Amino acid sequence: MNIEIMTLFPEMVMNGVNTSITGRAIKNGLLSVNATNIRDFSLSKHGQVDDYPYGGGAGMVMQPEPIDRCYQSIRERLGYDENGYKDGKRLPCIYMSPQGRTFTQSVAKELANKEDIVILCGHYEGVDQRILDMIVTDEISIGDYVLTGGELAAMVITDAVSRLVPGVLNNDDSAVYESFHSGLLEYPQYTRPAEYKGVKVPEVILSGDHKKVEEWRYIESLKRTKEKRPDLLKNREENDNAWEGSIKY
């Protein structure tokens, strides 16, 4: 999977994604992430990328031309035609914005199936609407709050999507059973020592009985979800749960 990020702060994005699990996936060739500096595509002498808003108002607006030129160079490099198609598939171009649809695990799954994704990070007070209308296929928000730019949001998307790419996580099971995957929150985890400051690890997970451990975990997941996020129980996909039918609750 290949993620292309159009930004005015490529170091910020690359420093983030080159760290930890995404960094390892990039080194191992399972994932490729490129951050391209929109400023490099400015035609002005001083690398200008923004200007005052027509009609007045506070702040600056990102101009269409540098973004367009940046996008076209990425599109061409990836082998998509002038309309943004390759092998009948449209190149996804996501604009990070609080106005977009909310990012969830199911959106992450949807994006993890794409070969390439382009992400546009806005800054200042916004982006000229014409370029958004021309190139953007999807607008995504990471939550109901306003960031100073789209970079952190693009990093969130890159992180959540890349851990779904086969091989990125060491243990494929962790992608299947972790929070939200079966629509439930994760069960409590424990490690050594078996007793800490007088508090013992639940007996069942020391038992070595795998079936019992899995049952306990499933019930704990259900309890947690009911307590902390009852809304998730309503929306849960029933079909990808291996325990369905085997346990009464």
Could you list the residues that contact ligand ADE (CB under 6 A)?
Answer: 96-98, 141-143, 145-147, 150, 153
How far apart are CB 143 and ligand ADE at their closest, in Å?
A: 5
> Residue 127 gets which letter from DSSP?
B
CA dihedral 190, 196, 199, 203 (to 10 degrees): 50
> Residue 242 gets which letter from DSSP?
T
How crowded is residue 204: how many other Cβ atoms within 10 Å of its Cβ? 14
How far apart are CB 183 and ligand ADE at their closest, in Å?
A: 23
> Residue 249 gets which letter from DSSP?
-
* Three-state secondary structure call for residue 7: strand
Q: Cβ contacts of residue 187 below 8 Å, gap of 6+?
A: 216, 217, 218, 220, 221, 224
How far apart are CB 4 and ligand ADE at their closest, in Å?
A: 17
* Three-state secondary structure call for residue 34: strand
CA atoms lying within 13 Å on the CB side of residue 93: 24
The Cα 55–Cα 62 span in angstroms is: 15
* Residue placing its CB nearer to ligand ADE in the complex, 154 or 169: 154
How far apart are CB 154 and ligand ADE at their closest, in Å?
A: 8
* Residue placing its CB nearer to ligand ADE in the complex, 144 or 195: 144
How far apart are CB 248 and ligand ADE at their closest, in Å?
A: 41
How crowded is residue 221: how many other Cβ atoms within 10 Å of its Cβ? 21
* Residue placing its CB nearer to ligand ADE in the complex, 64 or 98: 98
* Residue placing its CB nearer to ligand ADE in the complex, 1 or 140: 140
How far apart are CB 139 and ligand ADE at their closest, in Å?
A: 9
* Residue placing its CB nearer to ligand ADE in the complex, 153 or 222: 153
CA 96 to chain centre: 11
* Residue placing its CB nearer to ligand ADE in the complex, 141 or 225: 141
